[in-house]
Amino acid sequence: MAASGRQKEWTRGRLAGLIAGMGESESATGGAAGSTTNGTPENIGGLNGAQLARGFHREVVAPLVAAGLPGLRHAAGRLGSGSDVLGLDDAMSRDHDWGCRLTLLVDEADRAALPKLGELLERGLPERYRGLPTRFPTTWAPSGSHQVEIATVGDFAASRLGVNPLIRLSAVDWLSLTGQSVLEVTAGPVFTDTTAEPRLARDRLRWYPDDVERYVLAAGWQRLGQRLPFIGRAAETGQELQSRLLASASATDLMRLSFLLCRRWAPLSPRSKGCWRCSGAADCLPRPRASRHSGIGRTATSIRRSRRHCSPA
């Protein structure tokens, strides 16, 4: 579909404004990690969620496991859901699903130890750590149990991904993955690891196989190409709201393409809370200018160049 010159101007202007404003919106959504709003006790100081989990493991959970199940090979870290897994939690994050959370994983060979580990944690965890409850309700467990998740590596990964990465993944399996689900398995801080399978899972989930990567990139460019002409067409026919919505969706497509081109897994919302910057994608591609008309051109040019660089010969 050919777009008129006026339609192209609409498209360039809308997308340039959106992309240039992303840095500002990222700063606006961030909060002070040390804030003590939402009823958070003062004695956690400036700890973010990952730092809280590290201390909770070192001072409470690790001694408990060492005394009750000496020699148990396990990995402990802040994995799974939550903005603190990516280091993006702020004061607002503390109003839901935030607190003394930890994941303990064992290899398949040690699956039989899980019931004993669960009993040990249920009996031995204190009521509070640094003034925070160790048992509290979450959006998935309103009963208020402790939030130390225990599982085998394969079961934990499958609960997030829908497939077990320790088993060979097919092309369909790879296409079913979301960046967010992979990050929940691979991106969080690990405090101790005496097992074998977590490293294997992280290595296998490092990035798409070549043929799947090419397919995902092609699909992303095709989706963007199909949507772009309608930004100007909608504006030209007086559909202001529709044009703005299409421009916003196209800006998100561009952000996701930048993650793909830099071979970084994209989180659930790549335009929120500085995800683009913290992932490394912002360093891989030149930052767009703030100019109304040059921003989209610079961004698209840098993405096209990276596309040529990353594409196989």
pTM of the model: 0.77
Residue 269: the pLDDT is 73
Q: What is the mean pLDDT of each run of 10 residues along the chain (313 residues)?
A: 60 62 45 39 72 96 96 96 87 86 96 97 94 91 90 97 95 96 95 94 96 95 91 90 91 89 85 57 57 49 53 43
What is the predicted pLDDT for the residue at 275? 61
Tokens representing residue 115 in the block: 């019931």
SS (H, E, C) the chain: CCCCHHHHHHHHHHHHHHHHCHHHHHHHHCCCCCCCCCCCCHHHCCCCHHHHHHHHHHHHHHHHHHHHCCCCCCEEECCCCCHHHHCCCCHHHHHCCCCCEEEEEECHHHHHHHHHHHHHHHHHCCCEECCEECECCCCCCCCCCEEEEEEEHHHHHHHHHCCCCCCCCCHHHHHHCCHHHHHHHHCCCEEEECCCHHHHHHHHCCCCCHHHHHHHHHHHHHHHHHHCHHHHHHHHCCCHHHHHHHHHHHHHHHHHHHHHHCCCCCCCCCCCCCHHHHHCHHHHCCCCCCCCCHHHHHHHHHHHHHHHHHCCC
Token readout for 35 is 């804030």
Which candidate, 191, 188, 118, places its Cα nearest to that of 160? 188
State residue 260's pLDDT score.
92
**Predicted local confidence at residue 7, as pLDDT:** 62
Res 207: pLDDT: 97
Predicted local confidence at residue 127, as pLDDT: 95
> How much is the pLDDT for 236?
87
Q: What is the pLDDT of residue 161?
A: 97
Cα–Cα distance between 92 and 129 in angstroms, integer? 21
CA 253 to chain centre: 16
pLDDT of 88 reads: 85
